[in-house]
Amino acid sequence: MNYYESKADTTKLVCMLCSHYCNLKEEQVGICGVNKNTGNKIECLVYGYPSALNIDPIEKKPLYHFLPNSKSLSLGTIGCNFKCSFCQNWNISQEKNIDKSRYFSPQNIVDIAKEYGCRSIAYTYNEPTIFYPYAKDIALLAKQEGIKSVFVSNGYESSELIDDMVGLIDAANIDLKSFNEAYYKKELGGDLKIVLQNLKHFVTNKIWIEVTTLIVPTKNDSDEELKDIASFIADELGVNIPWHISVFHPDYKERSLPVTPLESLQRAYDIGKKCGLSYIYMGNIPQDNNTYCRTCNAKLISREGFGASENLLVKSRCPQCDKKLEGVFE
């Protein structure tokens, strides 16, 4: 894909990475703060400069139906194309200064992943769409080594970018933060319709997705809104797409809100089940987060904390009834 396009009769360039499609004049930086029109191109200023680099269990992304019990080399940069007031990673997503003290080439990243036995590389912590040129170069090299790539994203990619991911990005966890258009626009800085469209686009492009909703008290936890979210997943994406509902902790600009009560999580779970979702997982709390066969209810994957302690699948299938579990397991 072209990461940017020029506008006729002007020196402005349009960034094609995310659905903001920023139209940047020379020296101007986009909404994300990290892509800049430097004259005759748009440069990704964070290319090679991760702000965080860790080895995490894949369950921490969270991806529960993707290579369970494996390690994922996880990296993020600074910057974001959203401005969520409850951001749980605001210290990097809203940071403006790029620490250029150490450069990591795509090959360096893949070498680290190999050295530590990681089966995937996760582009996470902040919004990876905004550093896609870096993520893509890493993913291309990783693929040659049999290492998969995963995105943890707010779902605001450009549609061109989602098409570009095919064959390169193996899975994604996408946030569906609310079902309220005004809230998306005013409080998050995005467009709900585009996120919904993109979620469907991932599914039609056959990229495995799991959906996460951070349940923020008073913001998105009404029965009606939870039902709208769960119904959308069930009806438009498929009942076998996992839904992760996770606990909010007061952070960034939302320090006066309480921690999500367990009752709200249970309510979301019950609503999701009524809407027909097969796999609902509660995040950020100690809870039975095992995966059970949707046909015979046999235990398929048991989890403790963030690690999958036991994977009982036999070649992606239930050992009891042979039903295939949806996801990526090989």
Q: Quick one: CA dihedral 204, 214, 267, 286, positive or negative? A: positive
Burial class (CB in 10 A: 0-12, 13-18, 19+), 231: middle
Residue 162 engages ligand SF4 in binding (rule: CB under 6 A): no
Q: Interface with ligand SF4 by CB under 6 A: which range of 11-19, 232-240, 261-269, 291-299?
A: 11-19
DSSP code of residue 236: I
DSSP-H helix ranges across 84-168: 90-93, 106-115, 132-144, 159-165
- Member of 74, 77, 81, 93 binding ligand SF4 (CB under 6 A): 81
Q: Read out DSSP for 35-101?
A: EEE-SSSEEETTTT--SEEEEEEGGGTT-SSBSTT-EEEEEE-S--S---TT-TTHHHHT------S
**By the rule CB under 6 A, 278 interacts with ligand SF4:** no
Q: Which is nearer to ligand SF4, 45 or 308 (CB)?
A: 45
306 binds ligand SF4 (CB under 6 A): no
User: 3-class SS at 23?
Assistant: strand
Residue 76 engages ligand SF4 in binding (rule: CB under 6 A) = no
The stretch among 18-26, 70-78, 82-90, 225-233 that binds ligand SF4 (CB under 6 A) is 18-26
**Least Å distance between CB 181 and ligand SF4?**
20
**Structure tokens given for 71:** 């390690």
Nearest to residue 132, comparing CAs of 100, 106, 104? 106
Q: Which residue has the CB atom at the shortest distance from ligand SF4?
A: 30
CB 268 to ligand SF4: min, Å = 30
d(CA 21, CA 26): 15
CB hemisphere CA count around 158 (13 angstroms): 18
Site string for ligand SF4, 87-126 (x = CB under 6 A): ----------------------------------------
* Window contacting ligand SF4 (CB under 6 A); options: 25-33, 200-208, 250-258, 310-318: 25-33
Binding mask 35-74 for ligand SF4 (x = CB under 6 A): x---------------------------------------
Residues lying near ligand SF4 in the complex (CB under 6 A) = 15, 17-18, 20-22, 30-32, 35, 81, 130
